[in-house]
Structure 1
Amino acid sequence: MLYVLKRLIGNRNPLRLGYHWFRAFLAAAWYRFPARHLTVVGITGTDGKTTTVGMAAHILHEEDIAVGALSTAFFRIREEIDWNATQKTSPSPFIIQRFLRRLVRAGCTHAVLEYSSHGLVQQRTAFTWPRIAAITNTSMEHLDYHGTMERYRQDKAMLFRQAKTVHVLNADDETYMMYKDIPAEKTLTYSQRPLGNEAIGFWTSDIVAAPGKTDAKLHGSYFTETWDLTLRIPGIFNLENALCAIAAAHAAGVPVARCAAALSSFRAAAGRMERIDAGQPFSVYVDFTVTPNAYRKTLTALREMIEPGKRILVLAGSCGDRMREKRPEVGRVCSELADVVVVANEDPYTEDPQKIIEDVWEGVDQSQTEAHRIFDRREAMAFLFRQAQPGDAVLLAGKGSDTTMMTATGQVPWDERAIARELLQAQRK
């Protein structure tokens, strides 16, 4: 019955939006509007939100600020970090408001929250009253819900219209021109290139990437000095996340030098370019890579991390009941940037998993790469591990830290990291 009503009443029907708002109000009222007692930092974007939330919370914690954080992968209350069992970026408003009340009871003064476009439209994050809003980037995702990229970006702009104190914008993203005139007391900008006089913010130079580490120089507008920035996590693309986190933490009052210093001790969230080491002679990474843009960034970073002549092997796929248009693009990106591509089942939800695999396969160019279709994900992982040679890199994309697989019959237990370790250990025997 509920499913039928959802189909009949559109996502933006005033009745449906009113219901969501009232539900959020009830949740906030039940927990006595906890956000009133917190400085809330909101992070949105397509890719990199979870890592950026983790970085910003880590910086604040290292500055002895009592902080909590909520992301797709984890809940954090001061030093305590727990897995987010909902696997949702912006869960139910009752979960969000209960979490914020727990932060207040724990003596936290700051909260770093991940905001999804769905959560913003559906008012799940209403009454969180963010003071600082930051965006990582935007690319093709969730168009089945939002309709167009224009609407998708406008929906994410809701976070910036709610936050009145500081906005943190990515000068390299199309949202910059859309968001820069949204009123705020202050706007900070970050970029992979030097910023001109039109913006105040941060950028990097002298980038040196190595396996598991990236070094760079951090620059800031109206600062005469530069700072050493070292990230001890894989992927040069994480510099963009670091710049966003630094700007957000600086907006919350942390000096730039201490922001940069704090990130040298940051470790990635579970399932975000997480290296699986079972003593094998090749590297294996588990990552929550789901968009074509994320595949491109991750595979490009892996290419820079391996020696010339070594190969990248990728397990690719796409989840069901989501934007079908991106599936062939995932296949195209993988065949362009990886040496061996295996397309397998991921999270089919209510769709035919074989049809999803065929949609991804449609974009695979077999003249560019060695490609295989293996339905069973465990079998696909074992195949990749058998194919990998010393010095190669294997990317297990799509699942990250999830512990279940979503199917038409419900949730099936699935921990990609544990299964990878099991298969790698068995292969060594």
Structure 2
Amino acid sequence: MPMALKNYFQKGFWKKLADLFRPIYHYLLALAGALWYRFPAKNIFVVAVTGTKGKTTTVEIIGAILKEDGYKVALSSTLHFEIAGAEERNLFKMTMPGRFFIQKFLRRAVNAKCDYAVIEMTSEGAQQFRHKFTALNALVFTNLAPEHIESHGSFENYLAAKLKLARALEKSHKDRKFIIANVDDPQGNTFLNANVPGKFPFSLKNTSPYLIKKEGLEFALENRKVISPLSGEFNLYNILASIMFARSQNITDEIIIKAVEKFSGLRGRVEKVTLSSNDPDSIKQNFSVIVDYAHTPDSLEKVYQVFQNTRLICVLGNTGGGRDTWKRPIMGQIADRYCDHIILTNEDPYDEDPRKILQEIHTAIKETACEEILDRRSAIRRALGLAKTGDTVIITGKGTDPYIMGPHGQKTPWDDATVAREELKNTLNARTA
């Protein structure tokens, strides 16, 4: 047998063997975690929140409503972990950490006498059985858009991975089970088909009439006016998902409205960057600076739409490592459509050439002035320097991500809002009042 052919068959054999045993490994790991921490989910009401976008914000709004009603709550999200008021930042660079994390988190929540655990759950986590042996009480579905296609192989596989959570809810031994789903999404009714007793669909029709402004949202809830400081239609969906979950728990509209109106948003999610009011340079800021996690074409467009009535200076990039490369030209097209000046920069290149990533975005930008500045801090500095009265600088792609991921596993500590605030201070300091 020729050596090249022999090597091909050997590599194919080991790959098939790894593909065969990988699911078994993850399943046994999940079982071991549940055994070690004594199946903590049986002693707490567990809520899973899944979807492509809006998971983190929905987790946090649900938490805010539950706390407003006097419950002790545990929250696990891309942003942070919270148990009975004690918080720690999520530094794992993943939404749903493995290695027993979920079971350990639930055990800590039970020990702290929490009433509810609200957990952001992902398709990749479900693929690796990280949700296994976690008896669910409720599943909240936000939406589904093409994402993680390279890792799942197809959109259908991506949907199937999400639906594993619905199957897990069906199989849960819990008595009280609920599914809350966005029926404006084409997959909403697929989730509602789950065989559970409590079904709570939601739609923008539930809030009509509603008003979306740069400063916030106004909508109706059972003929009562609700004013939220959150911006964008996407956040109206997140609020609706949270409201319908709260109603499944018989929480009064009075409590719900109070919590929603108090909830001012999250770091890295349409986050407004300003200097402290005590800083003498703060009075010089006559333009807006926004940091947002937007990392899909749909979420990028929705953020731009919120501020489209202003001159937009946009800083963006795209993840490397072969992840969802199809998005790059589409992100470029969207930026070209909405932005008045574009600065392409590094995001998380991993082992991929960052210049290649930027070029794949740049090729789709035909009309708008566009620069490539690899160093992310320099790109942010340049954008702020271009800003004039009434403009909006939008920095997308990382949100609260704690690192820039480089080649060979290199991790550079990072925080978009912190860097933007530092560069904003320098920019304003250099200007005359």
**TM-score, reference length from structure 2:** 0.89
Query: How far apart in 2 are the matches of 1:167 and 1:123?
Result: 20
Query: In structure 2, what residue type is equivalent to 1:107?
Result: K
Query: How far apart in 2 are the matches of 1:287 and 1:262?
Result: 23
Query: How far apart in 1 are the matches of 2:119 and 2:66?
Result: 13
Of the three residues 240, 247, 254, the one matched with 1:250 is 247
Query: In structure 2, what residue type is equivalent to 1:173?
Result: D
Of the three residues 279, 286, 294, the one matched with 1:289 is 294
Residue correspondence of structure 1 range 29-40 to structure 2 within 5 A? 29-40=35-46
Is 1:47 matched up with 2:53?
yes
For residue 425 of structure 2, give the secondary structure of its aligned residue in structure 1. helix
Query: How far apart in 1 are the matches of 2:243 and 2:188?
Result: 18
Query: How far apart in 2 are the matches of 1:44 and 1:258?
Result: 24
Cα 1:256/1:162, change in 2 over 3 Å = farther
Query: How far apart in 2 are the matches of 1:349 and 1:6?
Result: 26
Query: In structure 2, what residue type is equivalent to 1:78?
Result: A
Name the counterpart of 2:379: 380
Distance apart, 1:247 and its partner CA: 1.2
Contact residue 131 and residue 165 of structure 2 kept, 8 A: no
Query: How far apart in 1 are the matches of 2:127 and 2:12?
Result: 15
Query: How far apart in 2 are the matches of 1:6 and 1:385?
Result: 51
Name the counterpart of 1:346: 347
Of the three residues 202, 216, 228, the one matched with 1:213 is 216
Contact residue 9 and residue 16 of structure 1 kept, 8 A: no
For residue 163 of structure 1, give the secondary structure of its aligned residue in structure 2. helix
Query: For 1:354-404, what per-residue CA distance to the aligned partner results, in whole angstroms no more than 9, with x for missing partners?
Result: 11111111222x32x222222111111111111111111111101111221
Distance apart, 1:180 and its partner CA: 2.8
5+ residue gaps, structure 1: 194-202, 219-224
Cα 1:30/1:325, change in 2 over 3 Å = same
Query: For 1:52-80, what per-residue CA distance to the aligned partner results, in whole angstroms no more than 9, with x for missing partners?
Result: 10001111111111111100111011222
Query: How far apart in 2 are the matches of 1:147 and 1:229?
Result: 42
Distance apart, 1:210 and its partner CA: 3.2
Cα 1:122/1:9, change in 2 over 3 Å = farther
Contact residue 41 and residue 248 of structure 1 kept, 8 A: no
Superposed CA RMSD: 2.0
Is 1:166 matched up with 2:178?
yes
Query: How far apart in 2 are the matches of 1:252 and 1:363?
Result: 47
Query: In structure 1, what residue type is equivalent to 2:180?
Result: V
Contact residue 313 and residue 388 of structure 1 kept, 8 A: yes
Query: How far apart in 2 are the matches of 1:228 and 1:341?
Result: 38
Contact residue 34 and residue 40 of structure 2 kept, 8 A: yes
For residue 208 of structure 1, give the secondary structure of its aligned residue in structure 2. strand
Query: In structure 2, what residue type is equivalent to 1:340?
Result: H
Query: In structure 2, what residue type is equivalent to 1:241?
Result: N
Cα 1:43/1:12, change in 2 over 3 Å = farther
For residue 383 of structure 2, give the secondary structure of its aligned residue in structure 1. helix
Cα 1:177/1:345, change in 2 over 3 Å = same
As a proportion of its length, which structure holds more helix? Answer: 2
Query: How far apart in 2 are the matches of 1:207 and 1:12?
Result: 52
Residue correspondence of structure 1 range 341-420 to structure 2 within 5 A? 341-364=342-365, 366-367=366-367, 369-409=368-408, 410-420=410-420
Cα 1:274/1:169, change in 2 over 3 Å = same
Query: How far apart in 1 are the matches of 2:203 and 2:348?
Result: 34
Contact residue 214 and residue 306 of structure 2 kept, 8 A: no
Cα 1:50/1:8, change in 2 over 3 Å = farther
Count, aligned residues: 404
For residue 404 of structure 2, give the secondary structure of its aligned residue in structure 1. strand
Cα 1:176/1:317, change in 2 over 3 Å = same
Name the counterpart of 1:115: 121
Query: In structure 2, what residue type is equivalent to 1:383?
Result: R
Distance apart, 1:81 and its partner CA: 2.5
Name the counterpart of 1:175: 187
Cα 1:345/1:95, change in 2 over 3 Å = same
Query: How far apart in 2 are the matches of 1:124 and 1:91?
Result: 8
Query: How far apart in 2 are the matches of 1:7 and 1:188?
Result: 47
Name the counterpart of 1:314: 314
Cα 1:356/1:18, change in 2 over 3 Å = same
Contact residue 179 and residue 200 of structure 2 kept, 8 A: yes
5+ residue gaps, structure 2: 1-9, 171-176, 276-281
For residue 181 of structure 2, give the secondary structure of its aligned residue in structure 1. strand
Cα 1:356/1:10, change in 2 over 3 Å = farther
Distance apart, 1:119 and its partner CA: 0.2
Is 1:149 matched up with 2:155?
yes
For residue 13 of structure 1, give the secondary structure of its aligned residue in structure 2. helix
Contact residue 315 and residue 344 of structure 1 kept, 8 A: yes
Cα 1:14/1:245, change in 2 over 3 Å = farther
Q: Percent identity?
A: 33
Distance apart, 1:261 and its partner CA: 2.4
Query: How far apart in 1 are the matches of 2:291 and 2:17?
Result: 33
Distance apart, 1:94 and its partner CA: 1.4
Query: How far apart in 2 are the matches of 1:88 and 1:414?
Result: 15
Contact residue 61 and residue 67 of structure 1 kept, 8 A: yes
Cα 1:231/1:12, change in 2 over 3 Å = farther
Q: Which one has the largest radius of gyration?
A: 2
